[in-house]
Structure 1
Amino acid sequence: MIINIKYFGLLADITKKKEEQMVLDESNFSVAFLKSKMESAYQELQNTNYSVAVNQAMVGMDTNIKDQDVIAFLPPFAGG
């Protein structure tokens, strides 16, 4: 399975990447599994609040990720 991950704001600073492509052996996994995997790779993410979007839609941690999905790690938004 191949997925594309994009990082924005502070998360791009932490990972030192704006995006990366990952090839995973797993064929069925959730956003929670990916989040755990990424927090192991980039430990500073563990102490950071962020949201996850899949294919430009905000999703919950139980959402399944499919081949060729685009995953965005988004920092907290401020608005007014």
Structure 2
Amino acid sequence: MKIALKYFGLLADITNKKEEFFLLEESTIAVSLLKSKVENTYQELKNTNYAIAVNQAMASLDYIVKDQDVVAFLPPFAGG
């Protein structure tokens, strides 16, 4: 399975990337497991608050990511 990961704001600074592709052996994966895999790669993310969106929609941790999905890691927003 191939998915695109996109990082915004502080998260792009932590990863030193705005986008990357992950190749996974699983045919589907829950957002929670994907989050753990990414945090194992980028340890500093474990201490950072962020939200995750899949295909431009906010996703819960139990949402199932599928092949070719686009997963965005979003920093906290401030409104006004």
The bucket for the TM-score relative to the shorter chain is over 0.9
Structure 2 segments unaligned to the other structure (5+ residues): none
Structure 1 segments unaligned to the other structure (5+ residues): none
Q: Could you say which residue in structure 2 is the equivalent of 1:12?
A: 12
* TM-score normalised over the length of structure 1: 0.98
Quote the sequence identity (%). 68
Runs of 4+ deviating beyond 6 Å = none
Summarize the alignment of residues 27-42 of structure 1 with structure 2, pairs less than 5 Å apart: 27-42=27-42
Q: CA deviation at 1:27?
A: 1.1
Q: CA deviation at 1:49?
A: 0.1
State the SS of the aligned residue for 2:6. strand
Aligned-CA RMSD value: 0.4
Matched residues, number: 80
* TM-score normalised over the length of structure 2: 0.98
Summarize the alignment of residues 37-56 of structure 1 with structure 2, pairs less than 5 Å apart: 37-56=37-56
